[in-house]
Homo-oligomer: A and B are copies of this chain.
Amino acid sequence: MIGNEIKRHIEEAEKIIYKYLPKEEGFQKTIFEAMNYSMTAGGKRLRPILMLETYRLFGGKGNVIEPFMAAIEMIHTYSLIHDDLPALDNDDYRRGRKTSHVVYGEAMAILAGDGLLNYAYETACKAFDMTSDTVRTAKALKVLASKPGIYGMIGGQVLDVLMTGQVMNEEQLYFVYENKTAALIEAAMAIGAILAGASDDEVDIILQIASDVGHAFQIQDDLLDVLGNSDVIGKPIRSDEENGKVTYVTVHGINQAKEDVKILSERAVKRFTELEYENEFLKALIIFLVTREK
C-alpha cells in the first residue's frame, strides 16, 4: 500500500521539479541535456518529498516550497555526478543507467555538476518572487546553502575520500554519515518546516528527526550493498567492499547494523509526538525508507 502512495508522491515531486529544469536550447544546449539526463534518471526523490511533507506537517500551503524542492534535488544530483567521476568513485552506472561522464565525457560531467549546483541557488532565489515573506525565505536559503557545503555534505564526502581503504574510528564514521548523507535530509526537512512557519524549537525537533532518518537511511544503503540484489538496486552490489570502503556494516557487522537502523528509525518516528502536528504518510515513509530493498 505504502508503495503505491510513495509512487504517487514521487510523481507529484517530479512534476514540480521538472518545471524548474532548463529548456534544451541555445549555444550551451549540451549542458542542459546533461543536467536533465541526470535529473530525470529516476530515484526516490526522497529529499523533495520529505521537504514537501514536512511543509504540509506544519500546515504549509502555497508554491514557495517548489523552487526549494527542485533546488535540493539539483544539489543531490550534482553530488552524484561528481561522485561518479573517474577521479572519485569511477562508477560507470547509476540507477541502471550510464553515468554522466560516460555519456557526455568528463569535461561536460564536471560542468553539468557545477551547473546543477549553481542553478540550485538560482532556482531557490525564485522563491523571493513568490512570497512577500522575505525573511522566512532568507532563513530557508541559509539552511540550503550551509547543509550541503564544506561543513556539511561536501565535508563528509572529503573525509570519505581521504579514508578510502583505511579503517575509520567511530567518530570519523559518524562524521561521514552525519555530513555526507544526513545533512541533506536535515536541510530538506528543516526548509519544509521553516517555510511553513515552524518555530525555532519545532525546527530543532525536525533536525533531530532528520538526522536519525539520515543515519538509518545510510546504514540501510550499506546493508543493501552487502545483502541486496544488483538487478533490483540498479548498480553492482558489494561495490563498497571492492572499492575498499569502510562502512557501518564493515565496522559493526550486519546484525548490529540492522538493529541500529531499527532503533534510529523508531526514535525518529516517536519524536513526532513532541510536535503538535501529525503527518501519517511522513511516518510511514520513514519506516519504508529503512526497510526498503533498493
Contact = CB atoms under 8 A, between A and B. Distances in A.
B88 A149 contact: no
A82 to B, nearest CB: 6
Given A137-B138, A145-B122, A150 B115 contact: yes
Interface stretch (A23-31, A234-242, A246-254, A272-280): A23-31
Interface in A100-122: 105-108, 110-111, 113-115, 117-119, 121-122
Chain A interface mostly helix, strand, loop or mixed? helix
Given A27-B155, A113-B114, A114-B113, A122 B149 contact: yes
Interface residues of A, number: 51
A125 B142 contact: yes
A116 to B, nearest CB: 9
Interface stretch (A4-12, A54-62, A157-165, A205-213): A157-165
Interface string A28-47: 10111001000000000000
A124 to B, nearest CB: 8
Contacts of A119: 149-150
A92 to B, nearest CB: 16
Given A30-B162, A138-B134, A114 B154 contact: yes
User: Which 6 pairs from chain A and chain B are nearest by CB?
Assistant: A87-B106, A28-B155, A28-B158, A121-B145, A122-B145, A118-B149
Interface of A: 22, 26-28, 30-32, 35, 78, 82, 85, 87-88, 105-108, 110-111, 113-115, 117-119, 121-122, 124-125, 128, 134-135, 137-138, 141-142, 145-146, 148-150, 154-159, 161-162, 172, 175
